[in-house]
Amino acid sequence: MTQLASGIPLEPPVTPDGPAGRILQHPVGKPQGHYEWVYLWQLPIRAMHWVAAASMVVLIITGFYIGRPYFMTQTLATGSFSFQWMRLFHFVAGFLLIATALVRLYWLVAGNKFERFTALFPVRPRDLKNLWRMILHYSFIDRREIRYIGHNPLQQLNYTSVYVAAVIMALTGLALYGTANPSGLVWQSFAWVADLFGGLPRVRLVHHVLTWYFLVFIPGHIYFVLRSDLYEVGNLSSIINGGKFVEAGHDYIDHNPSATTT
Amino acid sequence: MIVPHAIPWAPDQELGQYLEQRGVSRRGFLRFCGEMTAVLGLASNFAPRVARALETMKRPSVIWISLQECTGCTESILRTAEPTIGDLLLDVISLDFQENLMAGAGDAVEDAMHAAMKENKGKYVLVVTGSIPINEDGFYTTVAGRPVREILEETAKDAAAVVAVGACAHWGNVQAARPNPTGAVGVADIIKDKPVVNIAGCPPIGDVITATLVHYVTFGRVPELDREGRPLFAYGAKIHDQCPRRANYDAGQFVEAFDDAAAREGYCLYHVGCKGPSTFSPCPIFQWNTRTSWPIGAGHPCIGCTERGFWDTMTPFYGRLPDIAGIGVEKTADIIGAVAAVGATAGILGHAALTGVSRMRARELPQYPNGPGSSGGASNAPKA
């Protein structure tokens, strides 16, 4: 009887027969043999992911209101504080996002091999080569698959770009936030951003346009996660419980379970 | 208007005596000192010190040169309906050389400038209005047959302090807007060896100039400046944070068009392009035309004229965000963003559909061998 690394015996799953069964069958292929659980995302990363996700939703909703208020109030000015509430939520969510970015930044160094810098930015020659193969594969040109347990090169590129975008958002956001108190620490520290872009209106424009980048990124992110969950290596659960089940004895480009188990 | 030359301020006469001679009451003088103390952001117990410094002040020598400009700054400062002591002060101290106010012309004026420079070497205050064109060796603006850059360098060499008045002298203003054919730059771009105080604005508020001079007289140095070289007492806060319409902004009440009900109610002009949130200036407090009104008070959005590059960065004046250059005026950021987001989502749906079709045709895909240490490219495909 085959066993997991944890020692739990595992029966091979039953495959349904017949044409309907063939279509409904999991497209990754008939599960074979036994599985092992690979721990990918440690608690700080999972917590950071969901805090960042929630704050991004708040930031986008309130950010569009600040950019162009989509509802107005009709009372005396003393009877409403809606715009300032929106700004408060925006600033709180923004600072939360910056906090998650700091956690992420530290974990680029302190994390495991799936969480470290080299696994998140396509810097290795291996990943650059596979990036091109992934593009061909995702364009239905090359049918051969490249399997990573962690982030594949396309996902790496996706995250690299969102990290860069988030850094620019944080810098421009801090510069805009700082103007409310020009003698304060925030403006003293980030006024250079306004000079860099050539004036506050341009900082605003960059901050505004990059919001749309996140709206391009988020559907893509969700799609690739679901697609990978269905067709490649299960992904969805790993950002909740930290790991994924992979077939034991199968080698992945960034992980080699057969070398460590048995 | 008080004619500058009507009763001249004698060089060795103290300001207190001079003002008395001009019929300014002691009460009026102290009120002016109190005002200036408040404008400078000093505690009220500084008022006596300001008063002492001013009343014992000897006539300062000021040389006021006009370069590439429209003379609007001088007009704005000098043409007030009711001259205050501040205006009077500005009038009388600009005696040594001011091309627009001098009765003389030609060689006589040039001689007067050189005489004043020689006589007060190292002591005079140089006030500059107008930008300096540097393209084609500066031939775009010449005074007395010389490029203005030469005149500026010559007069600034022996000046005790340089005050650049107006957006032109600050950074170049409209003549420096893209594409800047004359290569116009501000005073601080030419004069590097001494601090330049920028009184920003197109035109700037006269009180700011007066208060800067009062600070110089009282404390013997120029006031604290911000990154742009503007006095912090005046340019230390955004218009937005001092605006009387701020309550409407906080409440989410905005003018959508200049003839709508919200405009009549005096709501916030954020939507119609007010640049108050990007502009550091004391306009809401100091105001204009003897403190009767100012642009936002009159229902017009701020255009951000105290900020560097405002013709390029603050335009369109009636839109909140700059246009994206090279794409077209109507294609603003939001249209581009929405097209990108919708396009990406459509692409994702298309890719998902193609993936589904592809996987229906063949569920098991061949794989690359999996890197070093691979067990021979083991596939998870069912074994035959």
What residues in A contact B253, CB-CB < 8 Å? Answer: 72-74, 77, 80
Question: B311: distance to nearest CA of chain A, Å?
Answer: 11
DSSP state letter for B221? S
Closest CA to A232 of B347, B363, B372: B363
**CATH code at position A158:** 1.20.950
Is 50 exceeded by the pLDDT of residue B314?
yes
Instruction: Look at residue A248 and tell me if it is in a domain.
Output: yes
More confident residue, B181 or B379: B181
B104-133: per-residue pLDDT in tens?
778 888 888 888 888 888 888 888 999 999
Quick check: ipTM above 0.90? no
Q: Is B321 on the interface with A (CB under 8 A)?
A: yes
**Average pLDDT over chain B, rounded to an integer:** 83
Whether residue B335 contacts residue B323, with contact meaning beta carbons closer than 8 Å, is answered with no
C-alpha to C-alpha distance for B80 and B270, rounded to whole angstroms: 30
Yes or no, beta carbons of B380 and A249 under 8 Å apart: no
Q: What is the pLDDT of residue B364?
A: 61
Size of interface A-B (CB pairs under 8 A): 177
The DSSP bridge partners found for residue B184 are B133
Q: What is the pLDDT of residue B190?
A: 93
Question: CA B103: distance to chain centroid?
Answer: 31
Global pTM value: 0.80
Environment class of residue B65 by beta-carbon count within 10 Å: exposed (0-12), middle (13-18) or buried (19+)? Answer: buried
Instruction: Spell out the residues 6+ positions from residue A108 whose beta carbon is closer than 8 angstroms to its own.
Output: A115, A116, A117, A120
CATH of domain B15-234: 3.40.50.700
Taking the domains of chain B in order of start, what are their residue ranges? 15-234, 239-313
Yes or no, beta carbons of B375 and A249 under 8 Å apart: yes
Q: Which domain holds residue A150?
A: 111-254
Yes or no, beta carbons of A201 and B368 under 8 Å apart: no
Please give the span between the terminal C-alpha atoms of chain B, in angstroms, as a whole number. 105
**Quick one: which H or E segment has residue A243?**
strand A243-247
C-alpha to C-alpha distance for B143 and A175, rounded to whole angstroms: 42
**Quick one: which H or E segment has residue A246?**
strand A243-247
The DSSP bridge partners found for residue B185 are B132
Q: Give DSSP secondary structure letters for B47-83.
A: HHHHHHHHHTPBPPPEEEEE-BS-SHHHHHHH--SS-
- Residue that the structure tokens 């987001």 belong to: B341
Closest CA to B250 of A88, A95, A63: A88
Environment class of residue A53 by beta-carbon count within 10 Å: exposed (0-12), middle (13-18) or buried (19+)? Answer: middle
- Domain B239-313 matching CATH 3.40.50.720: the answer reads no
C-alpha to C-alpha distance for A224 and A226, rounded to whole angstroms: 5
Structure tokens at A66: 């600040």
Q: Is B344 on the interface with A (CB under 8 A)?
A: yes
Whether residue B162 contacts residue B195, with contact meaning beta carbons closer than 8 Å, is answered with yes
What residues in B contact A212, CB-CB < 8 Å? Answer: 333-334, 336-338, 340-341
Closest residue in B to A66 (Cα) is B252
Yes or no, beta carbons of A259 and B362 under 8 Å apart: no
Q: What is the pLDDT of residue B104?
A: 76
Tens digit of pLDDT at every position of chain A (262 positions): 444 555 544 544 445 554 444 444 445 555 556 777 888 889 999 999 999 999 999 999 999 999 888 887 777 888 888 899 999 999 999 999 999 999 999 998 888 888 888 888 888 888 888 888 888 888 888 877 788 888 888 888 888 889 999 999 999 999 999 998 888 899 989 989 998 988 888 899 899 989 999 999 999 888 888 888 877 766 677 888 888 887 776 777 877 755 544 3
Q: How many CB atoms lie within 10 A of CB B324?
A: 15
Q: Which of A179, A188, A217, A229 to probe the B interface (max B CBs under 10 A)? A: A179
Question: CA B323: distance to chain centroid?
Answer: 21
The DSSP bridge partners found for residue B161 are B125
Whether residue B92 contacts residue B224, with contact meaning beta carbons closer than 8 Å, is answered with no
Q: In chain A, how many domains are there?
A: 1
How would you label B347-363 residue by residue, b for 16+ Cβ within 10 Å and e otherwise?
A: ebeebeeebeeeeeeeb
Nearest to A72 among B254, B370, B379 (CB): B254
Instruction: Look at residue A48 and tell me if it is in a domain.
Output: no
Instruction: Look at residue A127 and tell me if it is in a domain.
Output: yes
DSSP state letter for A10? -
Complete edge-to-edge strand list for the sheet that includes strand B125-129 = B97-98, B62-66, B125-129, B161-165, B196-199
What residues in B contact A249, CB-CB < 8 Å? Answer: 375, 378
Instruction: Spell out the residues 6+ positions from residue A150 whose beta carbon is closer than 8 angstroms to its own.
Output: A40, A113, A114, A119, A254, A255
Question: A150: distance to nearest CA of chain B, Å?
Answer: 14
The helix/strand count (H/E) of chain B reads as: 16, 9
Q: Which of A223, A224, A255, A261 to probe the B interface (max B CBs under 10 A)? A: A223
Highest mean pLDDT range out of A168-177, B38-47, B138-147, B286-295? A168-177
Closest residue in A to B349 (Cα) is A223
Closest residue in A to B266 (Cα) is A77
Structure tokens at B353: 């559909």
Instruction: Spell out the residues 6+ positions from residue A245 whose beta carbon is closer than 8 angstroms to its own.
Output: A35, A36, A37, A38, A234
Which long-range contacts (C-beta less than 8 Å, at least 24 apart) are formed by B186-194?
Answer: B186/B131, B186/B132, B187/B128, B187/B132, B187/B152, B187/B156, B187/B162, B188/B164, B188/B229, B189/B132, B190/B132, B190/B149, B190/B152, B190/B153, B190/B156, B191/B152, B191/B153, B191/B156, B191/B162, B194/B156, B194/B159, B194/B161, B194/B162
Environment class of residue B192 by beta-carbon count within 10 Å: exposed (0-12), middle (13-18) or buried (19+)? Answer: exposed
Whether residue B130 contacts residue B166, with contact meaning beta carbons closer than 8 Å, is answered with yes
Q: How many CB atoms lie within 10 A of CB A27?
A: 17
C-alpha to C-alpha distance for B321 and B305, rounded to whole angstroms: 16
Q: Is B342 on the interface with A (CB under 8 A)?
A: no
* Cα separation values, A180 from A103, B238, B241, B272, Å: 27, 7, 7, 21
Nearest to B365 among A133, A143, A211 (CB): A143
C-alpha to C-alpha distance for B230 and A191, rounded to whole angstroms: 15
Tell me the backbone φ, ψ of residue A117, rounded to 5 degrees.
-50, -45
Closest CA to A171 of A225, A98, A237: A98
Question: B268: distance to nearest CA of chain A, Å?
Answer: 11
What residues in A contact B352, CB-CB < 8 Å? Answer: 223, 227
Q: Is B297 on the interface with A (CB under 8 A)?
A: no
Q: Is B363 on the interface with A (CB under 8 A)?
A: yes
**Quick one: which H or E segment has residue B128?**
strand B125-129
Instruction: Look at residue A134 and tell me if it is in a domain.
Output: yes
Instruction: Look at residue A202 and tell me if it is in a domain.
Output: yes
B225-276: per-residue pLDDT in tens?
988 899 999 998 999 999 999 999 999 899 999 999 999 999 999 989 999 9
More confident residue, A247 or B190: B190
